[in-house]
Structure 1
Amino acid sequence: MADWGPVLVAVVLFVLLTPGLLFQLPGHDRVVEFGSMRTSCAAVIAHAVIFFGILALFLITIRVHVYTG
């Protein structure tokens, strides 16, 4: 049996937390911009920290598991 939970959670979070797709923190003109489809180095770092925090929350504390086979 393969545990696909961590892979699925990581892929979904990666897509949703892409800077500029849903929101960008920090934005170019404001603190938070929604749907701007632009990015900056500071936004990439901020989204990477948010990604790691939420991924750790799901994988370590909630223990998401999806088994196949």
Structure 2
Amino acid sequence: MSDWGPVFVAVVLFILLTPGLLIQVPGKSKAIEFGNFQTSGVSILVHSIIYFALICILLLAIGIHMYVGS
């Protein structure tokens, strides 16, 4: 059996935290902008830190596991 939990969590967080796709923190004109499809270096840094923190919490502290197969 293979553990697909880390792969699933990483892919979902990557999609949700892509700067400019759903939200952008900080935005170009406001603190938070939604769906503007733009990005900046600062927002890439902020989203990377949030991504790293959530990955650590979900995989190391909580320990999400998903076993697929027989």
- State the Cα distance separating 1:30 from its structure 2 match: 0.7
- State the Cα distance separating 1:68 from its structure 2 match: 1.6
Equivalent residue number for residue 55 of structure 1: 55
TM score, norm. by length of structure 2: 0.95
Q: Secondary structure at the match of 1:38?
A: coil
Task: String of CA shifts for 1:34-55, please: whole Å, max 9, x gaps.
Answer: 1111000000010000000011
- State the Cα distance separating 1:61 from its structure 2 match: 1.1
Equivalent residue number for residue 64 of structure 1: 64
Equivalent residue number for residue 38 of structure 1: 38
The gaps in structure 1 that reach 5 residues or longer are none
Alignment RMSD, CA only?
0.6
Equivalent residue number for residue 17 of structure 1: 17
Q: Which residue identity lines up with residue 53 of structure 2 in the other structure? A: G
Distance, in Å, in 2 between the alignment partners of 1:57 and 1:37 is 28
The gaps in structure 2 that reach 5 residues or longer are none
Instruction: Provide the identity percentage.
Output: 51
